[in-house]
Chain A
Amino acid sequence: MSNDFTARNIPDRLTTHGQRTLKSWETLLVIIAVMVFVVNALSSPYFLNPWNLSDATFNFTEKAMIAFAMAMLIVSGEIDLSVAAIVALASTAMGFMMQAGFGTPILVATGLTVGVLCGAFNGVLVTRLGLPSIVVTIGTMSLFRGISYIVLGDKAYTGYPSDFAFFGQGYVWWVISFELVLFVIFALIYAVILHKTNLGRAVYAIGNNPIGAKFSGIRVERIKFILFLLTGLMSGVAAVCLTSRLGSTRPSIAFGWELEIVTMVVLGGVNILGGSGTIPGVVLAALIMGMVTFGFGLLNVPGIVMSIFIGLLLIAVIALPRLWSMARASRARRKA
């Protein structure tokens, strides 16, 4: 038990035995991931095929990219439920520009810009007006997707330029898709930001105690605003990838993703109340969810069973440490 935290040594977790739990949490995820991998490999002869595994990565890469930014936002004690709607709006904007005759570079720039603008809109409402982020982003979730519906109705934008297809359908080398490379790069970037920079430390500080963080000289509102911008930006990146992969835009694009993304983040060990969590955890959660979906798909298990499994996994992963600490506490009481 180390209770000698100084100002520079803020715990990664709300629980006091920080380091050890952190380790065991990720170990738990690794064990689950390996188990899922082995079970999949044993139960389907098609699983261990490089091309099939490569196809399977598309099940999670786009969502995971948003999940990295979402993880930081949730660690800081806020949440953004409008991410899927931002994807829809960014995709619609790209389709609009495509119809106006612009080429791939402008389309990508449009997607990213719309993402950032949506993030900024959320950020202003939360940090300037002091509104709760869960309410604000439930509102903007309807707002952003609503705009897409007004623009598109039951129509679709199709006919994206052929070089635009690279982002969602291109391969960098052999079975390694562009999206997978992007996923790894963003995983590294976000891991460095959250775990190795002052910004990252500040995010943990804000999540643990926003008032304390403010009195320590951290510009809480500004950092939260940056986090909303990042979440918007990553939604824009995902919009580029997904639109490119589908080759079309419909207002229902990425429908329901916000819940899958939040599930990924929480499964990755990020405390939904803020203050703790790691990027490697989120990476592992993304891999687990992707492999479970693909493995069940190979066995033609109906999707609803997958949802049940993911739900149970989520509850189990959250409940286990709590049960563990309860068991420890009762043992300690008995000793005393």
Chain B
Amino acid sequence: MRILKKLLTTAAVAATLMISPAQAQETKRIALVVKALGIGFFEAAAKGAEEAAEELGDVEIIYTGPTDTTAEGQIEVINSLIAQNVDAIAVSANDTDALVPTLKKAMDRGITVISWDSGVAKEGRQMHLNPSSNPLIGNMIIKLAADNLPDGGDVAVLSATTTSTNQNTWIEEMNKVMGNYPGINVVATVYGDDKADKSYTEAQGLMKSYPDLKAIIAPTSVGIVAAAQAVTDAGKAGEINVTGLGLPSEMAGHVDSGASKSFAIWNPIDLGYSATMIAYNLATDKASAEAGAEIPMGRMGSVTLDENTEGAMADPFVYDASNVADFKDIF
């Protein structure tokens, strides 16, 4: 114990003698905190953040995160960022609530805090950047189907479960804008429960029940892959277009085979770019994060904040034969 006491005394004396280092930085240090390191999606977001930093010139990006997706790990990372007195923290949170006390502390010390991708509760950040919005997604999924059907035709929806909030909202939003796509008939909505085998069987059922089916819209990354597989196995690749929301890594093969002409999902590069731009603009007082405010995001235009100080970045990004190969290694 004596040794420990000595060590603690030394530490205390050293700490007291020390004056906090003066902050005379010219460059803005923006920390991009992700759910965990080594995930393709976030590595791509970091690429986007670097792109924004290059464009802005006086920005240094600190790309960091815990080794596994835990709130405790992110808190340790954020504590060390607060200690470094960074100018801004942009975080994709592992836990909506657990980060709030730590992020509040960061804001108390004058650090700009925003969340992106996966949000933090309102009191723990200045604004949240959603990759897209429900109306934009709802419109995108039907637009993808309609774009390849100039003469109209029958389409069907393969969703997740009947109780999936996300999918139900998107389908609802899709139905609202159906009037803009004349000639397109949604003949059925079936549920594959986000299970590969059930989705596959449901897609087979759709092809049997509706021989004139021209497209299957699957707004779920599990459903879209299963539907594309079912279409390929039935020898109808090129005849029935499978589209919706999917991951480039899982869909690249089906785009090559022609089972899917195009699909959409958020672009992580744009997301990292936009988050960095927003963090920079808030940290340099070029914009403020309040309801109704419009914050510029460089090449991505600008984001308008709603009453919860949340904003949507853009339409989901469309992947087709021209670009899917570049993204399939990313996520």
Contacts and interface: CB of A to CB of B under 8 A. Distances in A.
B84 interface: yes
A53 B121 CA distance: 27
Contacts of A156: 95-98
21 contacts: A27-B3, A30-B7, A46-B21, A49-B15, A51-B83, A55-B79, A56-B80, A158-B121, A168-B101, A169-B101, A248-B95, A248-B98, A250-B98, A255-B70, A293-B76, A294-B76, A294-B80, A297-B79, A297-B83, A300-B80, A302-B67
Interface string A204-231: 0000000000000000000000000000
B101 A48 contact: no
A303 B73 contact: yes
Interface in B94-137: 95-98, 100-101, 121
A53 B4 contact: no
Interface stretch (B58-66, B175-183, B286-294): B58-66
Contacts of A304: 37-38, 67
Nearest to A26: B3
Given A59-B79, A156-B95, A255-B72, 4 more contacts: A45-B21, A246-B97, A247-B101, A303-B77
Nearest to A290: B76
A219 B205 CA distance: 69
B7 A33 contact: yes
Task: State the majority secondary structure of interface residues on A.
Answer: helix
The interface size bin for chain A is 35 or more
A49 B79 contact: no
A37 interface: yes
B97 A247 contact: yes
A286 to B, nearest CB: 10
List 6 A-B pairs, minimum CB-CB distance, nearest first. A297-B80, A248-B97, A303-B67, A52-B83, A246-B98, A48-B18
B1 A46 contact: no
A253 B74 CA distance: 12
A283 interface: yes
B101 A246 contact: yes
Contacts of A294: 76, 79-80, 83
A68 interface: no
Contact of A297 (B72, B77, B121): B77
